[in-house]
């Protein structure tokens, strides 16, 4: 039976306040979904990192990792670096599968947010 754990990941920031935003977002997401197996993580410059979040979910019995990419565009990190980090982490967990979402750039809701904020300035 498939048990999905979710990682919501972003690049990470040298500023702790920047990383705290992601942690709060994931806490709110857990509450909205009513699903506890959702972890924030950072590619670099923040903790927990991606391997730590995956290890936490696998330890809780997850055998599928759904990675939500909190990225706007499909750059090198999203296309190469992050899949490599995940694959390397899962080498120790045969049978655990994963998928990563596309970046947010084409989501119509993103345009709504940008429009709303720009409209306030006009």
Burial of 63: CB neighbours in 10 Å, binned 0-12, 13-18, 19+: middle
Nearest to residue 82, comparing CAs of 23, 90, 60, 16?
A: 90
54 torsion bin: left (phi>0), alpha (psi -120 to 50), beta (else): alpha
The answer to whether 77 is a known catalytic residue is no
Tell which residue, 65, 51, 67, has the closest CA to residue 97. 65
3-state class (DSSP) for residue 7: strand
Catalytic residue among 11, 64, 77, 93: 11
Active site amino acids: 11
């Amino acid at each position: 039976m498939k048990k999905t754990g979710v990682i919501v990941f972003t690049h990470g920031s040298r500023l702790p306040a920047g990383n705290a935003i992601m942690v709060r977002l994931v806490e709110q997401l857990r509450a909205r979904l009513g699903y506890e197996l959702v972890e924030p993580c950072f590619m670099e410059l923040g903790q927990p990192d991606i391997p730590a979040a995956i290890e936490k979910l696998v330890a809780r019995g997850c055998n599928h990792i759904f990675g939500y990419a909190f990225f706007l565009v499909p750059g090198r990190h999203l296309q190469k670096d992050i899949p490599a980090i995940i694959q390397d982490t899962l080498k120790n967990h045969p049978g655990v599968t994963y998928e990563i979402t596309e970046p947010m750039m084409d989501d119509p809701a993103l345009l709504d947010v940008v429009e709303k904020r720009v409209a306030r300035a006009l």
